[in-house]
Structure 1
Amino acid sequence: MANVTGKYESVLIVSLKSGEEAVAATVEKFKTLIEQNATLESVDEWGKRRLAYPINDETDGYYVLYNFESAPAFIAELDRIYKITDGVLRSIIVRKEA
């Protein structure tokens, strides 16, 4: 039962403080990580948007939506890596209903 895959979506908000190259590198880092551990279905870059409230004195962030299929074990690891990566303001991983 542990190897049952599910469909997930993850929204990542990347800090703009480090510049466009750092944003692109972070987006690519997680795209590659998901590709290596799951089946990446799509990456939808929403781009720069205003945050609902300031985070670390920032009012804008770069939003990215990843859609992928994965085993539950990878989700915990992805969340852990989000939390320890510099430049990630916020992240959420949601399992989509079948």
Structure 2
Amino acid sequence: MPEVKHSYETVFILSTKLGEEETAALVKKFTDLVAANGTVDSVDEWGKRKLAYEINKESEGYYTLINFTSVPSFTAELDRVYKITDGVLRSLIIRKDV
């Protein structure tokens, strides 16, 4: 029996210390990872924004939102990759109610 797919959205904040090229590379890495394990509905790069509070002594971060559809087991892997990737300040994965 095939696994049921659900709609998700993920937001991640990258360090502004990375620079433009490294930031673009990480956004592409995460988008490609999601695309390999599901379908990417949209990618919305919000760009550099001021954080509500300092994280690791940084007051700004680069925000990106990805809407995607995948099997539920993939979200744990995506979260694991966020946690081990240098430059990711925060990440959040939410299942959307349809």
Distance 2:2 2:63 in 1: 31
Count how many residue pairs are aligned between Structure 1 and Structure 2.
98
Q: Which residue identity does 1:71 align to in structure 2?
A: V
Distance 1:53 1:88 in 2: 16
Report the counterpart of residue 18 of structure 2 in structure 1.
18
Could you tell me the percent identity over the aligned residues?
A: 61
User: 2:83 aligned with 1:87, yes or no?
Assistant: no
CA spacing shift, 1:2–1:77, aligned 2, 3 Å:
farther
Alignment of 1:13-92 (within 5 A): 13-92=13-92
The TM-score with structure 1 as length reference comes to 0.96
Distance 1:19 1:72 in 2: 33
- Report the aligned-residue RMSD: 1.1
Distance 1:19 1:93 in 2: 24
Report the counterpart of residue 3 of structure 1 in structure 2.
3
Offset of 1:97 from its aligned partner? Answer: 0.2
Q: 1:39·1:68 contact (CA, 8 Å) conserved in 2?
A: yes
Structure 1: which 5+ residue stretches go unaligned? none
Offset of 1:86 from its aligned partner? Answer: 0.5
Q: 1:2·1:72 contact (CA, 8 Å) conserved in 2?
A: no
Distance 2:38 2:59 in 1: 32
Distance 1:61 1:91 in 2: 12
Runs of 4+ deviating beyond 4 Å: none
Offset of 1:2 from its aligned partner? Answer: 7.3
The TM-score with structure 2 as length reference comes to 0.96
